[in-house]
Structure 1
Amino acid sequence: MAEPDPRTLEALGLAEAPREHPLSYPGARPEESVLLDGDRLLPLTRGVYEDRVPVLAVGSNACPAQLRHKMARSGVSGTIPMVKTRVFGLGVGVSAHVSPMGYVSASPFHAPGAVGELFLTWLDAAQLAVVDASEGVAVAEGAYGRAWLSASEVRIVLDSGELLPGAHVYVNRRGVLHNGSGTPRLHPGERPLLASLLAGSERLRELFGETPEDFCARARGDAALCARGTRLFASEGLTIASGLERYA
């Protein structure tokens, strides 16, 4: 079978997975609800899939290229419904850890009154196991726990106006980074985030270099260095609770 045309993949937002290009995190996202089918993005015919598990994507799991990469490496089907939703009561913050993928990822936080658009991925059992493994859910020292948030905590509304009873979301066990005034900072994209973090911490620059490019190059694949960076976030008082830890 011929390899997909890279130009076509780029046009679909499928060319760059943040796992391979850390500074692209969280990656390109579709403009509307789609069915990810390997190298294709197809129209969706419905918003609810009763035989699958609903998982909100707050970071790179909303990027088709990232999902495609994860499933392909595990030999699992890459057919995934991705439904654009309006979410009430959840913010997208910055994880209080450095990922060995080479980036500082996103993590949700409790945000009463907040309204935003997030993609809901509907995963089958094998796909859920792949994403769980990628987030370190089953590992005691893993960064994330998978939390079930019911409609009483977070409202998830489809384009049809239907309110879902709830969904899963990956919550960082170490909390999130704050913005200097005691509230979670929002994730602005990897390059501006890393530039800001490095500018604000001499010790972080000592570990990861002066630029976002340096940071990604040093962090990528170096679990011990990433663990030192994670501890540094805590020791410099940069972390706060997300408010969702009790669910994870």
Structure 2
Amino acid sequence: MFVHLSHILDPKDNAYPGEPVVTFEPDSVIGKDGKPFNSAMIHLPNHFGTHMDAPHHFNPDGIDMIDLPDDIWGYEGDEVLVIDLPAKNKPKSVIEVSDVEPYAEQLQGKRLVLFRTGFEANKFSDPHTYEHDGLSFHPDTCRWLVENTDKVQCIGMDWLSIASPSNGYGKDAHQWLLGNHVDRYIVGIEDMTLAPLGDKKIEFITLGPLRVRGVDGAQVNVMAKLAD
């Protein structure tokens, strides 16, 4: 079966504090001004909803979304590792090196790593906590991932962002992932829903990117095919 791992884009949805949300307004309405069709103008911030941070987001010399290699958009099941961290399912938790080191052997050969905590439940039940007191990665964890994995190209998470307003780790964490310090980058998919995976075996995962020239990141429509 197929499942969505991206949230629906909704004007009422969460955004990083101070950042804009998607908006839209009708452009054409059936029967109005002689129009036979409906259409709308969508105003979509590129870091809203389930989206990917490409290197240029924090790296002035990094590449944009459209310059990422084609193989970054698809993963066979044996190339994916889901790291379950239920102990981190509480406000202001930080993903530390000690949380990922036990997976060092399993990480070798993986290209996509999904961090699942269950924190996504707060997205709708407690949106203020989800936005203001969310989880984050410690910069040392991002450095560890870059320096101690061989093929990881992308990480995803079931919380709002790599960064959290509750601490000052965001800049350094993003820079370690996005290639500011070493000649390697790992892109990140923020604000995913990973609950649909359940305990099913993953057959493959695809990332459908919004390809817009000149932007440092954009929405991705993530879908997984799970074994029946």
TM range (shorter): under 0.3
Ranked by relative contact order (alpha carbons within 8 Å, sequence separation 6 or more), the top structure is 2
What's the TM-score, normalizing by structure 1?
0.23
